[in-house]
Amino acid sequence: MTALILTYHSINIGGNEYSNNDHVALDMDLRLLAELGWTITPLCAMVDAVVHRKLDPTNKLVALTFDDGSWFDWYDLDHPTHGQQKSMANILRDFSKTNAGRSQPLIEATSFVIASPQARAQLDVTCMVGRGWWGDEWWQQAQHEGVIRVQNHSWDHNHITLDSTAILREKGRFSVVSTYPEADAEIRQAADYLDSICGAGTSTIFAYPYGETSDYLVREYLPNHMSEHRLAAALTTEPEYVTNDSNRWLIPRFVCGCDWKSTEDLRTILQK
Ligand SMILES: [Zn+2]
């Protein structure tokens, strides 16, 4: 196959090995992608090609995505347990200065961020190290600079560790979104917040929290309320290749740590 999307979580830092640190994995994977002749392409370009069924099967195209959007995407930080961590952005920048990186026409990744400031403040404590490292002060700079583009990962992820969420029920799932008010609160509200910080028209691609879709979102809300949510596509975590037949509301992605756990695993995915 000739197009795919890879997903990393910069908060996955359980050590400093490929298997337990997505920063280490991304760094090694960039070199593998170059070695195997894959071209890094901006996600928005791949999505546009899918929507217009213009994916070129003669190219090997890969889009890079990061989920949840903590400071580990953008800032080098000293992790209290596992030491200094190079940001995903700096891993991309440093790769662009290598011979392999210079052969890439444009090195850009997309970060799917959680919009709600209150949700991020609580997630910073429940899912990270509680140092205030989940702020949105880097979004505008990232959007301007272009190494990482910011996109929509919902208002609050309906995250299981939050005291309250916009959906107000069955926290820890996103497939429960089955009504207009719920979809509007999680998706359109997040789009408005992203656009208010990064500029009108920023939010155009959605990544389903937990990779979970629902019939209501895929068949009703996303196709029929486009003037409200302003999205062109939505990404799952179904581990499949992207083709011109991909449904724009169900574009698949492979996830580091789930669908591949080593460069050898990724090599298998890339050589299928
Ligand atoms: Zn997520």
CA distance 270 to 143: 29
Report pLDDT for 1: 56
Ligand 1 centroid distance, CA of 147 (Å): 20
Ligand 1 centroid distance, CA of 32 (Å): 25
Report pLDDT for 168: 77
| Residue 151 exposure: Cα atoms within 13 Å on the Cβ side | 28
Pairing mode, strands 61-68 and 109-113: parallel
CA distance 12 to 22: 6
Ligand 1 centroid distance, CA of 98 (Å): 31
Ligand 1 centroid distance, CA of 94 (Å): 26
Ligand 1 centroid distance, CA of 68 (Å): 5
* Neighbouring residues of 214: CB distance < 8 A, sequence distance ≥ 6: 174, 175, 176, 177, 178
Please state the domain count of the chain: 1
Ligand 1 centroid distance, CA of 234 (Å): 13
Residue position matching structure tokens 């581990």: 239
Report pLDDT for 169: 83
Ligand 1 centroid distance, CA of 217 (Å): 17
CA distance 149 to 139: 8
Ligand 1 centroid distance, CA of 235 (Å): 11
- Segments of the chain with pLDDT less than 50: none
Report pLDDT for 249: 98
Domain CATH code at residue 109: 3.20.20.370
Report pLDDT for 210: 96
Render the chain in DSSP notation, one character per residue: --EEEEEE-TT-BSSSSGGGBHHHHHHHHHHHHHHTTPEE--HHHHHHHHHTT---TTS-EEEEEEEE--GGGTS-EEETTTEEE--HHHHHHHHHTSHHHHTSS---EEEEE---HHHHHHHHHHTS-SSS---STTHHHHHHH-SEEEEE--SSTT-TTSS--SS-SSTT-STT--SHHHHIIIIIHHHHHHHHHH-TT---EEE-GGG---HIIIIIIHHH-HHHH--SEEE--------TTS-TTSB--EEBTTTBSSHHHHHHHHT-
- Which of 48-51's residues contact partners 24+ apart within 8 Å by CB, and which partners? 48/232, 49/3, 49/244, 50/233, 50/242, 50/243, 50/244, 50/246, 50/248, 50/251, 51/232, 51/233, 51/248
Ligand 1 centroid distance, CA of 60 (Å): 26
Three-state SS at 125:
helix
CA distance 14 to 12: 6
What are the backbone dihedrals phi and psi of residue 137, each rounded to the nearest 5 degrees, phi first? Answer: -70, -15
Q: Is the full-model pTM beyond 0.85?
A: yes
pLDDT digit string (tens) for 80-136? 999 999 999 999 999 999 999 999 999 999 999 999 999 999 999 999 999 999 999
Ligand 1 centroid distance, CA of 114 (Å): 8
Ligand 1 centroid distance, CA of 123 (Å): 11
Report pLDDT for 272: 83
Ligand 1 centroid distance, CA of 37 (Å): 29
Query: Which range of residues forms the domain containing residue 67?
Result: 3-270
Ligand 1 centroid distance, CA of 102 (Å): 31
CA distance 194 to 185: 14
Ligand 1 centroid distance, CA of 96 (Å): 27
